[in-house]
Amino acid sequence: MGKILIYEDIEREILNRNLEKDLTLFGERNLISDENFSFDVIFHYKYQNPKNSRHPTSIVMPVFQPEKSREDELKVLSYMNQNYPLIKDFAFADNEKTYFYHSEKKGKKFVQEYIENSSTVNRQSFLDLVKDHPELTDKIKQRTRLIDTLYSSDLN
């Protein structure tokens, strides 16, 4: 995974969310990249469980409450890897910070990597910055519509 950019309004939603509801983030891996850097952009969310089927974006990331220890968090990730093998990205969030993880199967086991490089970005500032690249804005709009369609009829 590259550096994660997440819209500020989504980060606020994560930190202030209703813990009784499941929250899933959506974005695109390497949405912005060149030979020197790569940014994964999280641009949408839904209060629902992620589906373990065809995903509308390359990043589908459930958000969990932090566990008591790193070992307990790894148990949660291990459970998710076994039961939702198509989901590779996860987040734990308390009221102050969001912690991102990426999981890959290596041999017979899954290896979880903590993603340290994340930043928030103002949604409108980001869209203004990439407005000269209609392929990016079109992709975000298209994927957002697809997420809304796929997740509209499911209720927790």
Report yes or no on 43 lying in a domain: yes
Query: Number of structural domains, the chain?
Result: 1
Rounded CA-CA distance 7/33 in Å is 18
Residue 7 CB-density burial (10 A; 0-12 exposed, 13-18 middle, 19+ buried): buried
* Residue 25, pLDDT score: 94
* Residue 73, pLDDT score: 82
* Residue 10, pLDDT score: 95
**Which residues neighbour 45 within 8 Å (Cβ) at sequence distance 6 or greater?**
10, 13, 14, 23, 24, 25, 26
* Residue 126, pLDDT score: 94
Determine the 3-state secondary structure of 89 from DSSP.
strand
Give the pTM.
Answer: 0.87
List average pLDDT for each run of 10 residues in the chain, which is 156 residues long: 90 85 91 88 90 78 83 82 84 87 84 88 94 93 92 58
* Residue 95, pLDDT score: 79
Report yes or no on 57 lying in a domain: yes
CATH number at residue 92: 3.40.140
Report yes or no on 155 lying in a domain: no
Report yes or no on 123 lying in a domain: yes
The token pair at 119 is 């930043």
Residue with tokens 């992709």: 139
Range of the domain at 22: 3-150
* Residue 53, pLDDT score: 60
Report yes or no on 156 lying in a domain: no
Query: Can you say how many angstroms the Cα of residue 39 is from the centroid of all Cα atoms in its chain?
Result: 13
* Residue 17, pLDDT score: 83
